[in-house]
Amino acid sequence: MSDAEPDQEPEPIKDADAQGDPEGESDPFVGLRTQTVADQVSYAAMLDLALTPDQEQLVKTVRDFCSREFAPRIAADDRAVRHDPEIFAKLASIGLPGVCFPQRYGGHGLDYLSLGLVCEELEYVDTVYRTVLSVHVGLVGCGIYTWGAEEQKQRWLAPMARGEKLACFGLTEPNAGSDVASMQATAKRSGGSYVLNGQKVWVSDADTADFMLIFAKTDPKAGAHGVSAFMVDRAASGKALRTEPIEDRLGIHAGDVGSIFMTDLEVDEADRIGDEGDGFKVAMSCLDNGRYTIGAGATGTVRACLDASVKYAHERKTFGQLPARAADDRAHVSRLRDLQAPVLQGRVDEEQRAAAHTRGFDVQAVRRRRRFQRGQ
């Protein structure tokens, strides 16, 4: 990563030019179109993968910021199993929580690809930093933007996009992981409110988040159709909501990963996201955005591995040979090329998926078709 001058302060990301939106803003989230999967894949294959000047500037800003603010401390934090509670505030200082949301909700109006580019740069340093943005923007923010009413977007999304409030995503339970429909958390109606009871586990930013997108059963007998989604404000929950960290994890030692406990937690009906019973659909769409950010971040990890390998190849001496001679070893060069391939493929997937999303294509269908074509 490039190093910025020690006394140089990062410039916040700039808002996108207003265009194509009835309110004067471009919109990276649009409804699905009706093209066939073949049409969508054909379009993706013809994409111009070059970054725009705005995107190049965004990458440079985030890269320089990460090299100065995060890279110097992450190794020590990871060894000490220490989470930096100021990560989100630092991301907010350059406007990243609102990177792809419209300006009317406190965002910067950049496109969906910009979110992926940011996640790649964050995970180049460490997964911890990408995870904070993935959950806040990809899982929760995009979910509210897609499913929330206008009043809900103003109440929940706007302070999130401005970087004032951090959000987490409560879906997984001790006995309900991939099988979302088997969750045991309940949300029972009580007048104009719901009373939530249950537990969520493996929640990123559980201990530090201000807002929580929680999923619970409003109809335990209806399976996936009985799940509903709710926004919860920690500050207004009192003792009915409790969080605690999960200790002795095998990875992401510098992250905030914990559990959420709800005991007769009252949530107003106005804070339900989507209709009652829409929770499964809300969760799946949120996870789709989350997978995009994870894939983009993985490209950053592989790129970091490649850069570290190249650096080592130029520094390593064997049998008294100069580093350049060692780096010319055919087997070693072959291994480096093997690392380069997933970086390039990750970039292509990242940009194609972002373009498909922006144009309203069925992203999951495109992904399945591409995997079939590769024989995976």
- Angle CA 324–327–328, to nearest 5: 90
pLDDT score of 206:
98
Question: Is the overall model pTM greater than 0.85, yes or no?
Answer: no
- Strand stretches in 130-285, DSSP E: 167-170, 186-190, 193-204, 211-217, 227-233, 241-245, 257-268, 272-273
pLDDT band at 285 (very low <50, low <70, confident <90, very high): very high
Residues 6+ apart with CB under 8 A from 198: 173, 183, 184, 185, 186, 216, 262
Taking only the tens place, the pLDDT of each residue in 26-66 is 554 443 333 333 333 344 444 455 788 999 999 999 999 99
- Angle CA 347–348–352, to nearest 5: 120
Instruction: Report which of residues 310 and 361 the model is more confident about.
Output: 310
pLDDT score of 343:
63
CB atoms within 10 A of CB 249: 12
For residues 84 and 71, is the Cβ–Cβ distance under 8 A?
Answer: no
Is it the case that residue 280 has pLDDT exceeding 50? Answer: yes
pLDDT score of 10:
54
| Secondary structure class of 51 (helix, strand, coil) | coil
pLDDT score of 181:
84
Residue linked to tokens 């309203």 = 360
* Domains along the chain with CATH numbers: 49-165 (1.10.540.10), 168-280 (2.40.110.10), 286-374 (no CATH)
pLDDT band at 346 (very low <50, low <70, confident <90, very high): low
Is it the case that residue 355 has pLDDT exceeding 90? Answer: no
What is the distance between the alpha carbons of residues 67 and 85, in angstroms, rounded to a whole number?
18
Average pLDDT, the chain: 83
Q: What is the DSSP string of 82-97?
A: ---TTHHHHHHHTTGG
Average pLDDT over residues 242-265: 96
pLDDT band at 263 (very low <50, low <70, confident <90, very high): very high
What is the distance between the alpha carbons of residues 260 and 73, in angstroms, rounded to a whole number?
28
